[in-house]
Chains A and B, each alone.
Chain A
Amino acid sequence: MLRRIVHFFLIAVIFLPVAVLLILSFSEHWIFPDVLPENFHRQTWLRLFSTESELRQSLGLSIVVSLCVAFFSTLMGCILSRAVSTSRYKKYYISLAYLPYILSPVVLGVLWHYFAVVIGLNASFIGVVSAQFLICFPFGFIILSSFWTRHISNYEELSITLGSSEWFRFKKVIFPLAKPVLGLCFFQCFLISWFDYGLTQLIGGGQVKTLTLSVFNFINEANIFLAALASLLLVIPPMTLLFFNKKIILKRTLIH
Chain B
Amino acid sequence: MRKANSLTKFLRLIYVLLIVVPTFAGFTYALLHSLGLTGLLTDGLTLKYWSEALRDFYMWKSIGFSFLIAVISVFLSFCIALFLVLKLTDDFQKKWFHRLLFLPLCFPATVMAFYVMQTFSKSGFLSRLSFQFGWIDHIESFPELTNDAYGIGIMLTSVLLVFPFFTLFLKNIFDAERLQDYGLIAQSLGAKPRHAFWKISLALLWQKSKSTVVLYIIFVMGSYEVPLLLGRQNPQMITPRIVDKAQRFNLHDIPQAYVMALIYLFLVLLLISLMSTRFVQFFKKKTHA
Interface residues of B in 97-146 (CB under 8 A from A): 97, 99-112, 114-115, 117-119, 123, 125, 127-129, 131-132, 139
Q: A14-B100, A111-B29 are in contact. Are A87 and B12 (CB under 8 A)?
A: yes
Q: How far is the CB of A254 from chain B (nearest CB, A)?
A: 7
Is A150 an interface position by the 8 A CB rule?
A: no
Contacts of B117 in A (CB 8 A): 219
Question: In the bound complex, do residue B224 and residue A96 qualify as a contact, i.e. CB atoms below 8 Å apart?
Answer: no
Contacts of A2 in B (CB 8 A): 87
Question: In the bound complex, do residue A79 and residue B19 qualify as a contact, i.e. CB atoms below 8 Å apart?
Answer: no
Is B25 an interface position by the 8 A CB rule?
A: yes
Contacts of B107 in A (CB 8 A): 17, 235, 238
Question: In the bound complex, do residue A197 and residue B22 qualify as a contact, i.e. CB atoms below 8 Å apart?
Answer: no
Work out how many contacts link A and B, with CB atoms closer than 8 A: 208
A24→B111 CA distance, assembly (Å): 13
Contacts of B160 in A (CB 8 A): 13, 17
Is B42 an interface position by the 8 A CB rule?
A: no
A-B contacts, 21 listed (Cβ < 8 Å): A6-B84, A7-B91, A7-B97, A14-B100, A20-B125, A80-B15, A82-B11, A93-B15, A96-B20, A102-B269, A103-B23, A103-B268, A111-B258, A111-B261, A141-B15, A197-B110, A228-B114, A238-B107, A242-B106, A246-B99, A253-B165
> 6 more A-B contacts (CB under 8 A) besides A108-B23, A111-B258, A242-B99?
A2-B87, A93-B12, A96-B20, A97-B19, A99-B20, A198-B225
Q: Which residues of A contact B (CB under 8 A)?
A: 2-3, 6-7, 10-11, 13-18, 20-21, 24, 32-35, 76, 79-80, 82-84, 86-87, 93, 96-97, 99-108, 110-115, 134, 137-138, 141, 194-195, 197-198, 202, 212, 215-216, 219, 224, 227-228, 231, 234-235, 238-239, 241-242, 246, 249-250, 252-254, 256
